[in-house]
Amino acid sequence: MKKDIILAGVGGQGILSIATVIGQAALAEGWYLKQAEVHGMSQRGGEVQSHLRISTEPIWSDLIPQGKADIILSLEPLEALRYVPWLAPEGCVVTSSVPFRNIDNYPDIDQVYAAVKACPKHILIDTDALVKEINAPVQAANMVLLGAAIPMLGIEPEIMKTALQKVFARKSEAIVETNIRALMAGYEYACKNL
């Protein structure tokens, strides 16, 4: 088992929390892990990405070679497209459909969606609508997205839930509960729409 995942989004959206939960799950499974993060200047409202690799075998590189990523997991549709050159031919794009417009030249959103849909495997998910549906704050969008990636990750939902609990343990019980609801809402959406 080996999964190469590119996490993408805009600084402050919470992609590193996604990585932490997957990392915790991988640790619980006894897998190897490498995760390259971006800190510093690029976090200030700019594009951010993280290469996350989990495997039952030792991993060499911290960076995923182009054309090898199993999943692009993005909190923003334009940011998802940025990493398509890394996607394996059989790889899947899982992205929020909610645009983050902090640049003047943001392209036409329908063109963005069309490009996502041109990827052989994709899940385009309205995370804003989904968090509203389950009465969760917008900050839970990252866990919705993680939930939607569960079928592709080869990690059981129960293990992911436990990992999430562990990562959010020092926060309140209500926050843990909200995030688990978000995770499962994303999971169910993916199961229905894959």
Shortest reach from residue 20's CB to other proteins, in Å: 9
Decide: 142 and 178 in contact? Cβ < 8 Å.
no
Q: Minimum CB separation from other proteins for residue 15, in Å?
A: 14
- Residues lying near other proteins in the complex (CB under 8 A): 10-11, 23-24, 27, 32-47, 59-67, 78-79, 81-82, 84-85, 87-89, 102-108, 111-112, 114-115, 118-119
Residue 93 vs 185, nearer CB to other proteins = 93
Minimal distance, residue 113 CB to other proteins, in Å: 10
| Of 120 and 191, CB closest to other proteins | 120
Closest approach, Cβ 81 to other proteins, in A, equals: 6
Name the 3-class secondary structure at 55.
strand
Nearer to other proteins, 15 or 81 (CB): 81
Minimum distance of other proteins from residue 12's CB (angstroms): 9
DSSP letter string, 153-189: HT--HHHHHHHHHHHTTTS-HHHHHHHHHHHHHHHHH
Determine the Cα–Cα distance for residues 146 and 105; give it in Å rounded to an integer.
29
Cα 149 from Cα 4, distance rounded (Å): 12
Closer residue to other proteins in complex, CB, 68/188: 68
CB 104 within 8 A of CB 186: no
- DSSP state at residue 194: -
Whose Cβ is closer to other proteins: residue 88's or residue 159's? 88
Question: Own/partner pairs for 175-179, CB < 8 Å, 24+ apart?
Answer: 178/136, 178/137, 178/140, 179/136, 179/140, 179/143
